[in-house]
């Protein structure tokens, strides 16, 4: 349920994100405010998160201590965040638990892969999709006999979401052997939203589980793990990264049906998850989340995560989703007007909905040079390369080249393939506005119209990155830990 003042609260959160007003001196000597379009990699920290941490830190204590005041307070709040997570993803606390680990989705996905392999050893196949981040691919490859990468379907002009017919076909081909389908809720490359509940239904019909990589979903749209009228649409496991939901420095999160992690020894052992230890044996706690959280947890990060989730919950994720859908559709429309811009993935919002990210290339122009020029001359922070999703990026680039193949010579095509072996990604968070999109579009128009000029300003390194001929970014003048400590200790 959203707060009645959701829009006003959203406005406050967006204005106050930390780092939104950071300015840099650019290659042309001007100082401007940075435009942060890299939230898919990591979101900025909300001010409310920082202020909650400032209020909490005087009481900081280890949650494994018991009797002193700070320990009681820390332990209570640490557990409150677990409850908040379950509420945030609509997971019934009778059936589901959540635990925190590592610094993002990667740690969670590895834990899930190992645990489910041990829990259901007779099922040695995992289905995933071609759209996945390596973190939702390699852990399954490491622990299972076979991983099937189900393709994305062709929509009107380009690839859309995962192909449901091919998914069903793969389930039939591997009848009785599929442990789980692990699917991204939202692509970190194209922002395309997958029909996760349809896939859940399909998985459950075949006795398989459904695991959702929600790294790119959690900050952008509501998640409903349980409580669907048709319980087959409920999700079994979901993994997300706290640093992608406005709380950098917070842990990775796994939300899972308790029974899937019960009755086997947890993968990680150590302090805090055992009842009693003798020199020749030990008994493991039956309680969640303790049994999955060996060692001292990331307590401070978790408090920050709780603050971020509660703040977003007060706004209402429906309100955020509506706002961001408007922004991404605006961005798609404006970007499609830039001459020679290839946008990857289906762009028709009626056929394929997106949230959070758009990846593109200027035709015949290196993605790395586009990203360098956007940064150095326009103060626009974007990511480039393959975004840890090599198979998906490769497939989309090849598809776009196929359209060119007929009118280009082999040599021209080879050159183009070399330039487009990655992409540029603009990604959005609650703090981005149409003004940011307009600035990106204007910059791309300018770069597109002045390609030769930008090429003369940079040298390409053997790594594929570009360095400016004269402009140097002196980051140590802005910040270094050593200088900050020296300064703080002398003033």
d(CA 444, CA 359): 13
Report 166-185 residues binding ligand PLP (CB under 6 A).
184
- Shortest CB 146 distance to ligand PLP, Å: 21
C-alpha 412, offset from chain centre: 35
Q: For residue 445, with 0-12 CB atoms within 10 Å meaning exposed, 13-18 middle and 19 or more buried, which class applies?
A: middle
For position 129 contacting ligand PLP by CB under 6 A, the verdict is no
Report 31-60 residues binding ligand PLP (CB under 6 A).
none
Smaller CB separation from ligand PLP, 168 or 385: 385
**Among 188, 190, 353, 381, interactor with ligand PLP by CB under 6 A:** 188
Stretch near ligand PLP under the rule CB under 6 A, chosen from 130-138, 309-317, 462-470, 476-484: 130-138
- Shortest CB 196 distance to ligand PLP, Å: 13
Q: For residue 329, with 0-12 CB atoms within 10 Å meaning exposed, 13-18 middle and 19 or more buried, which class applies?
A: middle
For position 370 contacting ligand PLP by CB under 6 A, the verdict is no
- Shortest CB 453 distance to ligand PLP, Å: 33
- Alpha helices per DSSP H over 130-193: 138-143, 164-173
Report 459-478 residues binding ligand PLP (CB under 6 A).
none
**Among 9, 136, 347, 353, interactor with ligand PLP by CB under 6 A:** 136
For position 221 contacting ligand PLP by CB under 6 A, the verdict is no
With contact defined as beta carbons under 8 Å apart, do 335 and 341 qualify? yes
Smaller CB separation from ligand PLP, 43 or 400: 43
The two structure tokens encoding residue 459: 């040298």
Collapsing DSSP to helix, strand or coil, 470 comes out as coil
Residue closest to ligand PLP (Cβ): 104
Q: Which residue has the tokens 């703040």?
A: 311
For position 298 contacting ligand PLP by CB under 6 A, the verdict is no
Percentages helix, strand, coil for the chain (3-state, rounded to 5) are: 45, 20, 40
Stretch near ligand PLP under the rule CB under 6 A, chosen from 67-75, 129-137, 310-318, 454-462: 129-137
For position 135 contacting ligand PLP by CB under 6 A, the verdict is yes
Smaller CB separation from ligand PLP, 77 or 137: 137
Report 197-216 residues binding ligand PLP (CB under 6 A).
213, 215-216
- Shortest CB 184 distance to ligand PLP, Å: 5
d(CA 293, CA 304): 18
Q: Which residue has the tokens 């008994």?
A: 283
For position 400 contacting ligand PLP by CB under 6 A, the verdict is no
Smaller CB separation from ligand PLP, 115 or 241: 241
Sign for the pseudo-dihedral over CA of 52, 220, 187, 444 = negative
Sign for the pseudo-dihedral over CA of 104, 106, 111, 117 = positive
Residue 58 to residues 52, 176, 414, Cα–Cα distance (Å): 11, 54, 60
For position 241 contacting ligand PLP by CB under 6 A, the verdict is yes
d(CA 85, CA 225): 11
Report 316-335 residues binding ligand PLP (CB under 6 A).
none
Q: For residue 482, with 0-12 CB atoms within 10 Å meaning exposed, 13-18 middle and 19 or more buried, which class applies?
A: exposed
Smaller CB separation from ligand PLP, 27 or 253: 253
For position 9 contacting ligand PLP by CB under 6 A, the verdict is no
d(CA 291, CA 273): 4
**Among 106, 115, 359, 381, interactor with ligand PLP by CB under 6 A:** 106
Smaller CB separation from ligand PLP, 64 or 390: 390
| Interacting residue ranges for ligand PLP, rule: CB under 6 A | 104-106, 133, 135-136, 184, 188, 213, 215-216, 241
């Amino acid at each position: 349920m959203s707060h009645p003042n959701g829009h006003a609260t959203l406005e406050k959160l967006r204005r106050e994100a930390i780092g939104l007003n950071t300015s840099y001196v650019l290659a042309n000597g001007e100082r401007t405010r940075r435009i942060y379009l890299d939230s898919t990699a990591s979101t900025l920290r909300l001010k409310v998160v920082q202020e909650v941490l400032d209020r909490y830190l005087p009481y900081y204590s280890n949650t494994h201590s018991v009797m002193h005041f700070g320990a009681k307070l820390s332990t209570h709040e640490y557990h409150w965040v677990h409850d908040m997570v379950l509420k945030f993803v609509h997971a019934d606390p009778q059936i589901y638990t959540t635990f925190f680990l590592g610094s993002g989705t990667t740690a969670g996905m590895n834990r899930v892969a190992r645990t489910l392999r041990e829990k259901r050893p007779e099922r040695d196949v995992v289905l995933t999709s071609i759209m996945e981040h390596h973190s939702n691919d390699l852990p399954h490859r490491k622990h299972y006999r076979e991983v099937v990468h189900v393709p994305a379907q062709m929509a009107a002009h380009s690839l859309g979401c995962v192909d449901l017919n091919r998914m069903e076909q793969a389930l039939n081909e591997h009848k009785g052997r599929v442990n789980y389908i692990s699917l991204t809720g939202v692509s970190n490359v194209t922002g395309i939203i997958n029909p996760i509940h349809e896939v859940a239904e399909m998985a459950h019909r075949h006795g398989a589980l459904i695991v959702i990589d929600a790294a790119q979903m959690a900050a952008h749209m509501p998640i409903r793990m349980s409580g669907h009228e048709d319980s087959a649409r409920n999700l079994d496991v979901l993994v997300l990264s706290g640093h992608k939901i406005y709380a950098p420095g917070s842990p990775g999160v796994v939300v899972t049906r308790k029974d899937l992690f019960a009755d086997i020894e947890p993968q990680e052992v150590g302090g805090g998850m055992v009842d009693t230890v003798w020199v020749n044996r030990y008994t493991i706690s039956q309680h969640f989340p303790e049994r999955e959280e060996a060692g001292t947890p990331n307590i401070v990060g978790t408090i920050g995560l709780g603050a971020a989730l509660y703040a977003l919950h007060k706004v209402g994720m429906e309100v955020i989703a509506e706002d961001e859908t408007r922004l991404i559709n605006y961005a798609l429309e404006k970007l499609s007007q830039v001459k020679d811009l290839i946008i990857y993935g289906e762009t028709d919002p009626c056929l394929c909905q997106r949230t959070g990210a758009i990846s593109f290339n200027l035709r015949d122009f290196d993605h790395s040079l586009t990203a360098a020029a956007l940064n150095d001359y326009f103060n626009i922070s974007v990511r480039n390369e393959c975004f840890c999703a090599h198979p998906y990026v490769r497939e989309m680039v090849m598809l776009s080249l196929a359209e060119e193949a007929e009118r280009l010579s082999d040599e021209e095509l080879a050159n183009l393939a070399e330039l487009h072996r990655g992409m540029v990604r603009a990604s959005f968070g609650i703090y981005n506005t149409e003004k940011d999109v307009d600035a990106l579009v204007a910059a791309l128009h300018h770069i597109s119209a002045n390609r030769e000029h930008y090429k003369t300003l940079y040298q390409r390194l053997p790594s594929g990155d570009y360095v400016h001929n004269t402009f140097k970014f002196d980051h140590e003048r802005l910040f270094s830990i050593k200088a900050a400590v020296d300064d703080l200790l002398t003033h």
